[in-house]
Amino acid sequence: MSGKPRLTYLNGRGRMESIRWLLAAAGVEFEEVFFDTREQYDKLIKDGALMFQQMPLVEIDGMKMVQTRAILSYIAGKYDLYGKDLKERALIDMYVEGITDLMQPILMFPFSPPEAKEKNIDAIKEKATNRYFPVFEKVLKQHGQDFLVGNKFSWADVQLIEAILAVEEKVPTVLSGFPQLQAFKKRISDVPTIKKFLQPGSPRKPPPDQHYVDTVMKIFK
């Protein structure tokens, strides 16, 4: 096995996508192992690879890590994307938790019935424009810096650019009333490691399609 982190998950976004984003932002190459059957999932459980019988699974530094938040925290700390002190880390944690809340309905969107799609898109738009994006617009305006915390690229910036792009897939005009976030999106998209991740052929996954939804339902039913 190489020294690269090894990611085991379905061939799709899900809860692994934020991990892909963070590793890519840190400039870390990683390997991916995809599975698409219940038997493969059951074998991981039987082999003791999944502590709580849940995905995603990341093998890094001799550990088999589960629980998305724990994995992300470890990566952020290891690659200096977690602030310079406890106060900065607390801010990053608060921002990340907020963004995670915003992303939850986006993660669940592909599994909603067709008749609920439009209503759910409206709910995502309302959440983004009235509750979450105003917070980050204000933060960026008040401190006048390029990044959310300590004027240094951090985990919070990575989570926010991922969320912005995910919401824009559903609501293309969502940033129309947020000039600070528009400028932030451009700045962060030009960070070399992020720019590379946004190019075709990168490990970034496309929006979930029906095949992905069917696979998830087959495995985790």
Task: Give the pLDDT score at 1.
Answer: 44
Residue 22 clears pLDDT 70, i.e. is over it? yes
The CATH class, in words, for 86-190 is mainly alpha
Cβ proximity of 16 and 22 under 8 Å:
no
Among residues 154, 143, 144, the alpha carbon closest in space to that of 76 is found at 154
With H, G, I as helix, E, B as strand and everything else as coil, classify residue 179. helix
Cβ proximity of 190 and 12 under 8 Å:
no
Domain span(s) for CATH 1.20.1050.10 in the chain: 86-190
Q: Kindly report which listed range (42-51, 98-107, 130-139, 159-168) carries the lowest average pLDDT score.
A: 42-51
Residue 159 clears pLDDT 70, i.e. is over it? yes
DSSP structure class, residue 132: I
CATH superfamily of 6-79+198-220: Glutaredoxin (3.40.30.10)
Output the average pLDDT for the chain.
Answer: 94
pLDDT, mean of residues 183-187: 97
Percent of the chain scoring above 70 in pLDDT: 99
Residue 160 clears pLDDT 90, i.e. is over it? yes
Domain span(s) for CATH 3.40.30.10 in the chain: 6-79+198-220
Cβ proximity of 124 and 106 under 8 Å:
yes
Task: Give the pLDDT score at 53.
Answer: 81
pLDDT 10s digits, 38-96: 999 899 898 888 888 888 999 999 999 999 999 999 999 999 999 999 999 999 999 99
pLDDT, mean of residues 198-214: 94
Q: Exposed, middle or buried: residue 142 (CB in 10 Å: 0-12, 13-18, 19+)?
A: exposed
Residue 180 clears pLDDT 60, i.e. is over it? yes
Alpha-carbon torsion (31, 32, 33, 38), positive or negative? positive
Tokens of 99: 């963004």
- Residue 208, preceding peptide bond in cis (omega within 30° of 0): no
